[in-house]
């Protein structure tokens, strides 16, 4: 198919998404809209982790840390000075924290940039480590960020966190950022730089012999991925209107990891599909945490049950379909047209 046709189809897909959002905004209830918003944010987070882990092969467990950085930076920038005056009850905020102000878009970008900066700082020492060690070290980093947030009350309001963060992150912002993330990562992965990331994943030694500055490319992928993790965190802060250090534990990283692995490491399409399905299931499965009645037999609701179900599901995926829904395959317009043509062919015949 012609490249121009594909661009047209992509633009049409975005337009359809826009129309859907416009319809959803008027016709769906608040809860359903919230789920749509979470889908957008989870897709951003999954794409960013997929770039780092799925495409470049860097086993990073620090996503919650980068999200926390993005969330705090964005929140500080969009809360008004008066709100911050009221919020900081443990210790008064530093003047620059209280006075810092920026429009929402700038605040989200700043959140992403701050996360990217942290990625460079921790990446320089950590990315020299191999697989398992990198996982442990980045996990440690995320925990350090959390402890820092608790112990820097003049910046983060300590364990209390922030409440009443302005809820600018509506459907349009979230899906706008989602489409932007998607565009950047698709362009990147399809370019020769993307090929180099995949080369590092496949065989680091051979990549070095091909003149690839492996450390620099790893740092690049890690930083770009972390930028979008920061963006995701920033959007989440505004979406939930409240953040505190307890929110950014390993469970948050685990949720994103689950989406990426389920969808397929190294498949953008997989991350999107899994982002939609798992976000919906995570909400829908809340019923297993409520009391259930089967005939005359009553089951007590167990809080945390849905995470048990999900962990079991993840174990099953790893056991029976390790490559995830999609493996490394991607959606392609050619599939769609081929299917149409086949149908048309059958009708004609």
Partner 1 sequence: MPADTILETKNLSMRFGGLTAVKAFSAAIPRAGIVGLIGPNGAGKTTCFNMITGFYRPSEGQVLFHGRDITGTPPHRVCNSGIARTFQNIRLFGNETVLQNVMIGCHLRQKTGWWQAVLSMPSSLREQRAVAATSRELLAVVGLEDLAGENANSLPYGAQRRLEIARALATQPSFLLLDEPAAGMNPNETQDLMRFIRDIRTRFNLTILLIEHDMKVVMGICEHIWVLDYGETIAAGPPEAIKSDPKVIKAYLGEEAIPNA
Q: Which residues pair with 162 in a beta bridge?
A: 243
* 208: contact with partner 1 by CB under 8 A: yes
Whether 271 and 259 have beta carbons less than 8 Å apart is answered as yes
* 196: contact with partner 1 by CB under 8 A: yes
Segment 258-277, which members bind partner 1 (CB under 8 A)? 266
* Distance separating alpha carbons of residues 206 and 321, to the nearest angstrom: 28
Q: Which of 201, 259, 279, 326 binds partner 1 (CB under 8 A)?
A: 201
* Distance separating alpha carbons of residues 286 and 283, to the nearest angstrom: 6
Whether 65 and 248 have beta carbons less than 8 Å apart is answered as yes
Tokens of 42: 């989870």
* 192: contact with partner 1 by CB under 8 A: yes
Tokens of 181: 């993330």
* 332: contact with partner 1 by CB under 8 A: no
CA dihedral 62, 68, 38, 76 (to 10 degrees): -160
- Minimum Å gap between C-beta 11 and partner 1 is 14
* 199: contact with partner 1 by CB under 8 A: yes
Q: What string of DSSP letters covers 12-26?
A: HHHHHHHHHHHHHHH
* DSSP for residue 91: S
Of 33, 246, 229, 19, the residue nearest 123 (C-alpha)? 229
* 191: contact with partner 1 by CB under 8 A: yes
* Distance separating alpha carbons of residues 216 and 124, to the nearest angstrom: 9
- Minimum Å gap between C-beta 281 and partner 1 is 29
b/e map 259-293, b = 16+ CB within 10 Å: bbbbbbbbbbbbbbbbbbebbeebbebeeebeeee
* 179: contact with partner 1 by CB under 8 A: no
Q: What string of DSSP letters covers 98-127?
A: HH----HHHHHHHHHHHHHHHHHHHHHHHT
Site string for partner 1, 84-123 (x = CB under 8 A): ----------------------------------------
Q: Which of 15, 210, 251, 312 binds partner 1 (CB under 8 A)?
A: 210
CA dihedral 89, 94, 95, 97 (to 10 degrees): -90
Q: Which of 176, 198, 241, 277 binds partner 1 (CB under 8 A)?
A: 198
Q: Which is nearer to partner 1, 192 or 293 (CB)?
A: 192
Q: Give how many residues touch partner 1 by CB under 8 A.
A: 26
Q: How many CB atoms lie within 10 A of CB 112?
A: 29
* 328: contact with partner 1 by CB under 8 A: yes
With CB under 8 A as the contact rule, which of the stretches 12-20, 140-148, 193-201, 296-304 interacts with partner 1? Answer: 193-201
Segment 218-247, which members bind partner 1 (CB under 8 A)? 220
With CB under 8 A as the contact rule, which of the stretches 76-84, 109-117, 192-200, 336-344 interacts with partner 1? Answer: 192-200
H-type alpha helices, 285-323 = 305-320
* Distance separating alpha carbons of residues 28 and 240, to the nearest angstrom: 18
* 205: contact with partner 1 by CB under 8 A: yes
Q: Which of 133, 202, 332, 337 binds partner 1 (CB under 8 A)?
A: 202
With CB under 8 A as the contact rule, which of the stretches 31-39, 98-106, 130-138, 210-218 interacts with partner 1? Answer: 210-218
Q: Which is nearer to partner 1, 57 or 245 (CB)?
A: 57
Q: Which of 120, 213, 308, 311 binds partner 1 (CB under 8 A)?
A: 213
With CB under 8 A as the contact rule, which of the stretches 86-94, 183-191, 253-261, 303-311 interacts with partner 1? Answer: 183-191
Q: Which is nearer to partner 1, 117 or 214 (CB)?
A: 214
Whether 24 and 231 have beta carbons less than 8 Å apart is answered as no
Residues that bind partner 1 (CB under 8 A): 184, 187-188, 191-193, 195-196, 198-199, 201-203, 205-214, 220, 266, 328
């Amino acid at each position: 198919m012609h490249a121009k046709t594909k661009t047209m189809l992509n633009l049409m897909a975005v337009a359809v998404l826009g129309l859907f959002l416009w319809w959803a905004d008027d016709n769906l209830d608040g809860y359903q809209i919230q789920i749509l918003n979470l889908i957008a944010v989870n897709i951003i987070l999954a794409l960013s982790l997929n770039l780092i882990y799925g495409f470049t092969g860097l086993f990073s467990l620090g996503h919650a840390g980068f999200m926390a950085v993005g969330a705090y930076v964005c929140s500080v920038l969009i809360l008004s000075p008066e709100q911050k005056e009221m919020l900081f009850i443990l210790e008064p905020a530093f003047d620059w924290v209280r006075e810092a102000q920026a429009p929402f878009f700038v605040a989200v970008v700043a959140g992403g940039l701050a996360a990217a900066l942290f990625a460079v700082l921790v990446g320089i020492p950590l990315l020299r480590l191999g697989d398992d060690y990198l996982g442990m070290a980045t996990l440690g980093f995320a925990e350090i960020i959390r402890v820092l947030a608790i112990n820097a009350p003049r910046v983060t309001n300590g364990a209390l966190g922030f409440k009443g963060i302005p809820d600018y992150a509506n459907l349009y912002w979230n899906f706008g950022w989602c489409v932007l993330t998607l565009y950047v990562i698709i362009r990147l992965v399809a370019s020769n730089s993307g090929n180099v990331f995949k080369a590092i994943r496949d065989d680091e030694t051979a990549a070095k012999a091909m003149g690839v500055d492996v450390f620099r490319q790893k740092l690049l992928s890690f930083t770009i991925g972390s930028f979008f993790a920061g963006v995701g965190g920033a959007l989440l802060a505004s979406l939930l209107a409240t953040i505190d250090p307890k929110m950014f534990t390993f469970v948050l990283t685990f949720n994103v990891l689950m989406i990426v692995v389920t969808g397929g490491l190294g498949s953008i399409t997989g991350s999107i599909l899994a982002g939609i399905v798992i976000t919906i299931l995570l909400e829908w499965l809340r019923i297993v945490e409520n009391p259930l009645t089967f005939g005359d037999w009553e089951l007590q609701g167990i809080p945390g049950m849905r995470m048990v179900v999900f962990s079991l599901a993840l174990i099953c995926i790893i056991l029976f379909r390790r490559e995830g829904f999609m493996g490394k395959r991607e959606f392609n317009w050619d599939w769609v047209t081929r299917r149409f043509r086949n149908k048309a062919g059958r009708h004609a015949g």
